[in-house]
């Protein structure tokens, strides 16, 4: 167990067990104060792995909320109403920091209680900031649900039903005798540890609970019975001026990200960070949570953080795009698919880092992205230079944070006879198209794994990867390598909740066709013009590929053939490979 030191605080008619982290008297008095608040079915031991990291910078306290751990356990359900719990929290705040403002980091029902507290009169005088993890404001949630059902469009109904399904367990928790008996029977440390490991991969050694877990499970059900039905049926949303960071977990078993859509209408100073993490973040990803909370607290205390862009991009000023707070890196972003993908991700609120061998072109893309209200930075990058790529990835991490989305788009084309191509042409093709993708995936993939909060890597392959052609043999080989590498990397990174997608466009008109070299062509310029003209008439534009890239990220797709001919070719190669081989004999420029 962590180095906690107990003292008592009198709440609203109950004795609360409060704890300071570390040896009393050793903390520097002028350090900011942080209060950690647990949820169901936890106690202050939820924070055993987070508190030591926060204690490097702050004076850290926690307490067992009423009914949990070492605190008093009132019998009546009404004693667990949120207004009473907010009174308890104010009492603890006065005890740990009577003359200043305290930063709150809260999880699950602790976060629900903290929302009640920050929307109560007097919060501005006692609370410096609130980091909310996996616990909504129930009044906001009730308002959101009623709004969705009042306008029963397919999208609204779908979001509401998704949340109802995720929260179905709360109906069971409302049945006193049955649910109490269930947790009396199955509420052991080992069973709960295995449950957390099963649903979100929580390391078993991280799930260390206090000795009162079984009793906390049963008694804590009163939180649901005292608050859920009343708050959802008669919501009373109130505003707050306290700076709030919502940590949204895409793989939260209980809460869907959509329920946070309207928080900005009541929280005047709101930030949001979203990642492919699960509900019990303090157990499963304590390092990520500690770093996120520290960065936010630092930004509130000092007006900026050591990684200013990370928090700046998470600031919510209106209806939030689904990628607000995320960082996307796109190579080959100066034109074509890369540029349109940057625009699409910026529209959804992502900060974009744009790399291209043509820096001026990347800057032009960045200017357009900034016009969409997001942070955008351009860098010069030759993806074929492995050492330069590694330095670029380090610079991105140092200046912007760890990328959430990486789009390895940079590429070139080489057509014509494989036998006629020069060694220089072949080496350059594979260095850019395949080695560049491998470098980007490896460099940023390592950072994502180390952070432990998931992510997504998109690699641009091509329909040529599964459509053999006598005139595209070398290009097809480079893109087939991208496809198989992406499939394999997807398997490797799945346990880290990092998705990998191979995008396989067919005939898309970009400037690549106008710059394609045709090995062995008698009149290369004429051949290039003819092929480019055909692509132009096809008129499948890069923005349509970008839309498929965004959809692939949303749905974590493995392989995405984009154009109709790509989808057709993908199926032909899988089921009728002999037909692909016959088609491969046709000349590209005929």
Q: pLDDT, tens digit, for every residue of 353-387?
A: 999 999 999 999 999 999 998 899 999 999 999 99
pLDDT (0 to 100) of residue 472 = 82
Rounded to the nearest integer, the mean pLDDT of the chain is: 89
Across the range 525-547, mean pLDDT stands at: 70
Pairing of strands 59-63, 33-37: parallel
Is the whole-model pTM more than 0.85? no
Helix/strand/coil for 213:
helix
84 and 77 Cβ atoms separated by less than 8 Å:
no
H helix count then E strand count, the chain: 25, 18
66: tokens are: 């009423």
Instruction: Strand 376-380: give its sheet, edge to edge.
Output: 376-380, 351-356, 327-331, 405-408, 455-460, 498-504, 559-561
Nearest to 314 by CA among 378, 375, 388: 375
520: tokens are: 């062995």
Helix/strand/coil for 480:
helix
State yes or no: is 475 an active-site residue.
yes
Q: Where in the chain is the domain with CATH 3.40.50.720?
A: 327-583
Q: Where in the chain is the domain with CATH 3.40.50.1820?
A: 4-316
- CATH fold of 4-316 reads Rossmann fold (3.40.50)
Longest dimension (CA), the chain: 93
Q: pLDDT, tens digit, for every residue of 408-432?
A: 999 998 888 889 899 999 999 999 9
Which segments of 272-410 does DSSP mark as H helices, in order?
281-284, 286-302, 308-312, 336-347, 359-370, 386-400
Q: Give the list of residues 6+ apart from residue 56 with CB closer than 8 angstroms, or none.
A: none
Q: What is the CATH number of domain 327-583?
A: 3.40.50.720
Q: Is the pLDDT reported for residue 559 higher than 80? A: yes
End-to-end CA distance of the chain: 74
Least reliable range by pLDDT among 92-101, 316-325, 479-488: 316-325
Say how far apart CA 274 and CA 530 lie, in whole Å.
47
DSSP for 42-104, written as a single string: --GGGGTTTHHHHTTTSEEEEEPPTTSTTS---SSGGGG-HHHHHHHHHHHHHHH-TTS-EEE
297 and 32 Cβ atoms separated by less than 8 Å:
yes
Half-sphere exposure of residue 381, counting CA atoms within 13 Å on the CB side?
36
Q: pLDDT, tens digit, for every residue of 168-222?
A: 888 899 888 999 999 999 889 999 999 999 988 899 998 889 899 999 999 999 9
Q: Whose structure tokens read 């049955």? A: 178
Least reliable range by pLDDT among 147-151, 259-263, 578-582, 584-588: 584-588
Give the range with max mean pLDDT: 146-150, 178-182, 249-253, 312-316: 178-182
Say which of 283, 475, 570, 573 is annotated catalytic: 475
């Amino acid at each position: 167990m962590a180095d906690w030191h107990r003292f008592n605080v009198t709440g609203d008619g109950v004795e609360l067990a409060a704890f300071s982290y570390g040896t009393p008297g050793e903390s520097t008095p002028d350090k900011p104060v942080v209060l950690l608040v647990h949820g169901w079915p936890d106690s202050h031991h939820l924070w055993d792995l987070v508190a030591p990291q926060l204690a490097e910078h702050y004076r850290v306290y926690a307490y067992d909320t009423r009914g949990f751990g070492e605190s008093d356990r009132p019998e009546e359900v009404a004693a667990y109403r949120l207004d009473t719990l907010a009174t308890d929290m104010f009492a603890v705040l006065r005890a740990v920091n009577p003359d200043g403002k305290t930063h709150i980091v809260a999880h699950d029902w602790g976060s629900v209680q903290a929302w009640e507290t920050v929307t109560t009169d007097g919060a501005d005088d006692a609370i410096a900031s609130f980091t909310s993890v996996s616990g909504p404001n129930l009044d906001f949630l009730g308002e959101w649900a009623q709004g969705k059902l009042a306008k029963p469009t397919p999208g609204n109904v779908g979001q509401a039903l998704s949340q109802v399904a995720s929260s179905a367990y709360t109906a069971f928790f409302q049945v006193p005798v049955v649910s109490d008996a269930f947790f009396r029977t199955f509420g052991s440390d080992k069973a709960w540890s295995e449950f957390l490991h099963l649903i979100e991969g929580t390391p078993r050694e991280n799930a260390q609970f206090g000795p009162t877990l079984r009793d906390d499970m049963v008694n804590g059900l009163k939180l649901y019975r005292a608050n859920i039905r009343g708050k959802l049926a008669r919501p009373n949303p109130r505003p707050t001026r306290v700076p709030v960071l919502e940590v949204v977990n895409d793989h939260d078993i209980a809460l869907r990200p959509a329920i946070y859509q309207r928080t900005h209408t009541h929280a005047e100073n709101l930030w949001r960070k979203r990642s492919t993490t699960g509900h019990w973040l303090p157990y499963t990803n304590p390092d990520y949570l500690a770093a996120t909370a520290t960065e936010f607290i630092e930004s509130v205390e000092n007006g900026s953080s050591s990684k200013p862009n990370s928090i700046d991009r998470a600031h919510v000023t209106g209806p939030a795009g689904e990628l607000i707070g995320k960082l996307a890196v796109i190579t080959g972003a100066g034109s074509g698919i890369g540029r349109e993908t940057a625009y699409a991700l910026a529209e959804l609120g992502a900060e974009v880092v744009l790399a291209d061998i043509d820096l001026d072109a990347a800057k032009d893309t960045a200017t357009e992205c900034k016009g969409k209200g997001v942070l955008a930075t351009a860098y010069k990058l030759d993806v074929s230079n492995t050492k330069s790529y590694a330095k670029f990835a380090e610079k991105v991490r140092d200046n912007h944070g760890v990328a959430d989305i990486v789009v390895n788009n940079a590429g070139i084309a080489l057509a014509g006879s494989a036998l006629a191509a020069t060694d220089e042409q072949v080496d350059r093709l594979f260095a850019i198209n395949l080695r560049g993708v491998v470098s980007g995936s490896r460099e940023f993939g390592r950072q994502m794994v180390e952070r432990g909060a998931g992510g997504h890597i998109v690699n641009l392959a091509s329909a040529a990867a599964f459509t053999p052609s006598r005139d595209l043999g070398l290009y097809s080989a480079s893109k087939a390598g991208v496809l198989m590498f992406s499939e394999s990397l997807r398997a490797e990174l799945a346990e880290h909740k990092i998705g990998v997608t191979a995008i396989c466009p067919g005939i898309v008109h970009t400037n690549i066709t106008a710059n394609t070299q045709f090995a062995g062509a008698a009149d290369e310029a004429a051949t290039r013009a003819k092929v480019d003209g055909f692509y132009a008439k096809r008129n499948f534009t890069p923005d349509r590929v970008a839309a498929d890239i965004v959809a692939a990220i949303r749905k974590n797709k493995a392989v995405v053939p984009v154009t109709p001919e790509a989808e057709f070719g993908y199926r032909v190669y899988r089921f009728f490979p002999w037909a692909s081989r016959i088609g491969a004999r046709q000349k590209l420029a005929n």
